Amino acid sequence: MVHMTSGRGTRLRTFERAVSVRIAESALTLNGVLRMERLHRWLTVRKLQEKFDVRRIAFEQLRKWSVAPDTGNLSHESGKFFSVEGLSVAVSDGPVKEWSQPILNQPEVGILGILVKEIDGVLHCLMQAKMEPGNADGIQLSPTVQATRSNYSQVHKGRPVPYLHYFRDTAGHRVLADVLQSEQGSWFYRKRNRNMIVEVTTDVEVIDGFSWVTIGQLHSLLSEYDLINMDARTVLSCLPFSAAGIASLFSFGGDDFQSSVIRSFSEDNGSLHSSGDVLSWITESRVGNDVTTKLIPLNETTGWRRTSHAITHETEAFFDIIAVDVSAESREVQGWSQPMISPRGTGLVAFLVKRISGVLHVLVNARVEPGYLDVVELAPTVQCSPENYDHLPPDARPPYLDDVLEAPADAVRYDTILSEEGGRFFEAQNRYLVIEVGDGEHEDVRQDFRWLTVHQLTALIRHSHYVNVQARSLVACLHSLSCGLPGGNG
């Protein structure tokens, strides 16, 4: 059982107070600068006011993009942004040992940054209600800054990116997080973004389309259908949550689920594996998996066919490459066209979790993806689109998939549809789940899986290329469960 402790009214100066305590206080605050009902109303108004149009077009209708006659690659006339190329892959393990595929090659590092500030003694995040061409429902809450190098260096000759200077020059501000993180390793080739959280104490002008939001409000909105975008989720996962911060506000005990989540944030919590053992396991997974990748011309990929409007796998599985034309009044450039990845079907991203000696553990997978910079990153227990395995033998089915699909309703702790990055992926939605299993279940797991605590995962997130973007999204969801917020709406 969890109870509030007394003394929350005491407010010290921003830089004198423990960051973890201030984060926990903000995570418990559902009414900040805007009360929740006003925040919902603001988002509704933004959706009604946002004027945009996204329509699919033929490749030959792309503006400022061209198909190279010798390779078939799609690239922008500036040589910036990204290109669509082919990738040849050979792996030592798995149901398919060799294949080729289209992939997005975007070597430049972008900035995903959230600006935070204490307002009336409570930490707030400056969030943007932003349209992306791939968003299924138009507007999503995004970080303060979400920009590629090409965007913020104004290759597109559009308007400057608001608030960028806080992240390009952090002198005089407090950096709470700053780490390079990967993105989807099946769709991007070695793509990385700089995830940043910067705290300011000076006045900040709030321009149209932005609002101050508490961490608790963000966690609450995470339970709603497709509202918090992927870039916001990955930055939120970098917040230095800790059991000490939460415990300073809570007294907790017993064997309820929320108490087990809070204990899981503690550094000294009886985890099954030491930090050294976990790092050794990851390193062994990287050296033990022989993965060879090579960028090839897009027109040399096998098993893929090109029409005037799409590049599609011969099985009609996985994803398509499509082209879209976009008009959006609120963006730095009000009209453009671009290629996008359009996945087939809704994916499934899930953590199996269980309480071990009262401490929540999550089952992670040391997963190989061809676009990773370092072969393996820690992924959710299950991360797939189940229909992609329909044409493969039954033993190729992902481990633990049936545990997720057949989980009883009372075992589901979190369940919400969320989408992936709408700037590159067209209506790429996944069902994100946290499912609790019994203490005695799955004690003996495969070599490429381990039971870890949330603290062990968040410690790894402070470093590059350890935890993949889908697992980072689920960590943000676990942050919300630690404070007793609802776990999604199914």
246-264 pLDDT, tens per residue?
Answer: 766 766 666 789 889 988 9
Distance of alpha carbon 384 from alpha carbon 350, whole angstroms: 9
Per-residue pLDDT tens over the stretch 277-329: 999 999 999 999 999 999 999 999 999 999 999 999 999 999 999 999 999 87
**pLDDT bucket at 370, cuts 50 / 70 / 90:** very high
Per-residue pLDDT tens over the stretch 182-208: 999 999 999 999 999 999 999 999 999
Residue ranges of alpha helices (H) inside 202-248 are: 215-221, 230-236, 243-247
Q: Is the pLDDT reported for residue 152 higher than 70?
A: no
| Closest by Cα among 471, 1, 55, 232 to 224 | 232
Is 0.75 topped by the overall pTM? yes
Q: CB neighbours (10 Å) of residue 102?
A: 25
Total number of residues shown for the chain: 490
Cα-based angle 143, 263, 350 (whole degrees, multiple of 5): 55
Mapping DSSP to helix (H, G, I), strand (E, B) and coil, where does residue 253 land?
Answer: coil
**pLDDT bucket at 105, cuts 50 / 70 / 90:** very high
Distances, alpha carbon 3 to alpha carbons 247, 251, 253, in Å: 10, 5, 9
Residue ranges of alpha helices (H) inside 141-211 are: 149-152, 165-168
Distance of alpha carbon 28 from alpha carbon 482, whole angstroms: 10
Distances, alpha carbon 463 to alpha carbons 288, 456, 460, 467, in Å: 21, 12, 6, 9
Per-residue pLDDT tens over the stretch 196-246: 999 999 999 999 999 999 999 999 999 999 999 999 999 999 998 876 677
Please state whether 172 falls in left (phi above 0), alpha (psi between -120 and 50) or beta: left
Q: What are φ and ψ of residue 442, in 5° steps?
A: 50, 45
Quote the pLDDT of residue 13.
Answer: 42
* Residues of the chain above pLDDT 90, percent: 78
Q: Burial level of 385, CB count in 10 A (0-12/13-18/19+)? A: middle
Quote the pLDDT of residue 329.
Answer: 78
Element (H, E) at 43: helix 36-49
Distance of alpha carbon 343 from alpha carbon 326, whole angstroms: 19
Q: Is the pLDDT reported for residue 118 higher than 80?
A: yes
The tokens for 22 are 């201030």
Quote the pLDDT of residue 270.
Answer: 81
Give helix 257-264 / helix 469-482 axis angle, nearest 10°.
120
Distance of alpha carbon 425 from alpha carbon 202, whole angstroms: 36
